[in-house]
Homo-oligomer: A and B are copies of this chain.
């Protein structure tokens, strides 16, 4: 898989070798993300951060990742009313905006829009989320987190046992994660959801075609007893017809420290794509888990910086130059690490 100069639009672009190459570069980013060292490898380069839909943390994560490589960021947030309203095609928008930067990250509310934009772009485009369709960097940081958490236990991704819990119908992240996991060997996926919010059948079928084991369930406690990872998700209430309909499912599967202790193996890792819903009637991951060292949800978002730095470095073909301009940091950096 060749990254240099290419768009990153979908996790379907990734084979196992591509994932591993990306993760190797992400590992090299640790000293920079930890602020032990700084690099200026992209000094002079400009990221065009085009967020035609709000997503504060994805936007800032990409922007910080680019800054940490030494580059500058030019940004737009919210819909570009003017030009669209005046009848401009996405082709024209892409031709124009791609003249302003060296690489673009784009989020857009419409499925397929980033792909269409990328066809006319003169610089590499990273998909930061196009509607309900794709959000590849999220899936990659999830898998990178799984790799890291298992590595601490002396394991690789092969032979992973994972439970995915919650809204598996509308949750874009679990769909993408299933596709990525299918690239590995002897994966066992336990899918825990209400009947009405089951993982789409084509994804279950796809996993099984790749010789992975898939078990479907609607009971939480028995499903999390023999897994390495519990990947919990929020009810995607914005995708239901009404708040009331979402409330039927909200809070159905709640993990807290008591349930964890009673059911999980020691060191079972807890993940979540965030935001987690901490309201009284939801609490898919209770706050009493905050002191559990296996709660990996904030390591997950931190890993987003590493994975996005790696994507930029690979797409702009500087992954071997990172250290050539590096030096130690001199400011206060204690307390950063999780």
Which residues of chain B are near A282, meaning CB under 8 Å?
Answer: 87
Residue A332, interface by CB 8 Å:
yes
Which residues of B lie under 8 Å from residue A63 when comparing CB positions? 74
Is A275 a contact of B318 with CB atoms below 8 Å?
no
| Category for how many chain A residues contact B | 35 or more
Within 8 A of B (CB), among A58-115: 59-61, 63-64, 67-68, 70, 72-74, 76, 80-83, 86-89, 91-93, 95-97, 99-102
* Bound Cα distance from A209 to B87, whole angstroms: 37
Tell me, yes or no, whether A331 is within 8 Å of chain B by CB. yes
| Copies of this chain in the oligomer | 3
CB pair B72–A46 under 8 Å, yes or no, is no
Is B5 in contact with A335, judged by CB distance below 8 angstroms? Answer: yes
A192 close to B (CB within 8 Å): no
With known contacts A88-B274, A91-B287, A278-B87, A100–B336 Cβ distance under 8 A:
no
Distance in angstroms between the alpha carbons of A323 and B92 in the assembled complex: 33
Complex-state Cα separation, A60 to B277, whole angstroms: 33
Q: Flag if B56 contacts A76 (CB, 8 Å).
A: yes
Given A89-B287, A92-B278, decide whether A99 and B331 contact each other with a Cβ distance below 8 A: no
CB-based contact B80/A56 at 8 Å: yes
Instruction: Kindly list chain B residues whose C-beta atoms are within 8 Å of the C-beta of A240.
Output: none
The 6 A-B residue pairs with the shortest CB-CB distance, nearest first, are A38-B44, A87-B277, A88-B275, A316-B331, A87-B279, A317-B332
Q: List 7 A-B contacts (CB under 8 A).
A: A5-B334, A40-B43, A72-B73, A99-B298, A102-B332, A317-B331, A318-B331
